[in-house]
Structure formats: structure tokens, C-alpha cells
Structure 1
């Protein structure tokens, strides 16, 4: 699995999410960032390095890698792409596990406004 995850890059989606019930079962719903933190908060990770069918395959492998350390997560289509959702409290463990498999974690940076 290590070779297939190397050179993959994910980034954290900007919103917080939670599971909600709908007519078709459990679905993900974005929450207002200004809302209060909840035990049910999820964070989402999206692949930057792959698209299409290969993105789904990589996300399933990432999900399996996290399941090996008993992290509860789900790959769900969000805005037309496969995204991995994990509990907010497990974010650090998830990103550490992914880094150990060679997955890059893209992080935002602030531009210097003086330039």
C-alpha cells in the first residue's frame, strides 16, 4: 500500500462538517465555521494529486490505512469528488498516519501583505 500512497497529496477542506440523516441515508453537511464546536464535528480531506477513478482508489486505500489504526472515517462524494471525513478529534492521528505512508498534507499559508 505504501507505494500507491506515495506522491499523493491531500488538503483539509475549509469547513467543518457533520453527519445528518436524509431520505437516502446518512449524508455529510457543512456547518458554519462560527458555530460552536461539537463532538460530532468532522473534517474533510480532498486529494489534490489525483482525479477521477484513481482518486477514488487512492481514497479507499487511505481509508484502509486509517482503519488499520482504528480511526473511524468514511469516503464520501463531496462537490463531485471523493473526500475522506474523519472526526475532528482524530485529525492529528489521521494526518500523522498519512504522513507515515508518504502522503503529503498541503497546508494553507498566509501571504505577506507588505509585499
Structure 2
């Protein structure tokens, strides 16, 4: 089994959709006040490694998801490669990535109970 240890991804806060006429090759953010659709995408972005080293890692992540038949695409977003998956596949995708040794960074909010 291939592992991708020391790779860290996080979910971008915005949801996306395929741009009209560019399904699988170009995305656009869904407005915050937009209504949810079944074709919403989430974007996973590498925190480590980054830059040019991120592209081959993202393609390995994509292959890991393809192996379990989770549809995904690696596209540039915010100047970095991002892995786009359908919202309904997000949990399966992150579970698979965790099994490969990828750390999933989650939002952290400081809450003082006192």
C-alpha cells in the first residue's frame, strides 16, 4: 500500500461548482448566499508540501481516490493545485486519504469553557 506520510491537506472554506461548459476542468466558487445543489464540490489543498512539489502529490492523492471510484479532479485554485471532490464524497475521500497517511487539518476554534 502506498503511503503519503508528511502530506497535510485542508478543506477550503468555499464550496465550488463546475464552470458552465468546463465540467472536470474549471471550477468557480458558489456564492455564500447561493442555494445548495447536488453538484457542489469541495476543494482539498495541500499545506505540505507546497509549490511545484505539490502537483505530483496531488496526482497521487487523486489516484488513491480513483482506486475506490471516488470521482475527483486536480485543478489549480488560488495559485496551488487542489483536489476537487463532490460534497457527498467528502467523507469517503478524507477517510481514504487518512488511510494513506495524509493528515487532514481541521478548523480550530478556541473555546474557553471558563
How high is the TM-score relative to the length of structure 1? 0.89
Contact 2:75–2:83 at 8 Å: present in 1 too?
Answer: yes
Instruction: Pick which of 26-35 and 70-79 moved more.
Output: 26-35
> Residue by residue, what CA displacement relative to the aligned partner does 1:20-70 show, whole Å, maximum 9, x if unpaired?
1368x9410001233221011000000001112210000000000000000
Count of aligned pairs between the two proteins: 113
Offset at residue 114 of structure 1 (A): 7.3
CA contact under 8 A between 2:25 and 2:75: conserved in structure 1? no
Segments of 4+ in structure 1 off by > 3 A?
none
Tell me the equivalent position of 2:110: 111
1:88 aligns with 2:87: yes
Contact 2:44 2:84 in 1 (8 A): yes
Find the counterpart in structure 1 of residue 28 from structure 2: 29
Question: In the alignment, what sits opposite 2:58?
Answer: 59
Higher strand share: 1
Q: Which runs of 5+ in 2 are unaligned?
A: none
Q: Any idea what the Cα deviations from partners look like across 1:63-100, whole Å, max 9, x if unmatched?
A: 00000000100000001100000000000000000000
- Aligned-CA RMSD value: 2.0
TM-score with structure 2 length normalisation? 0.90
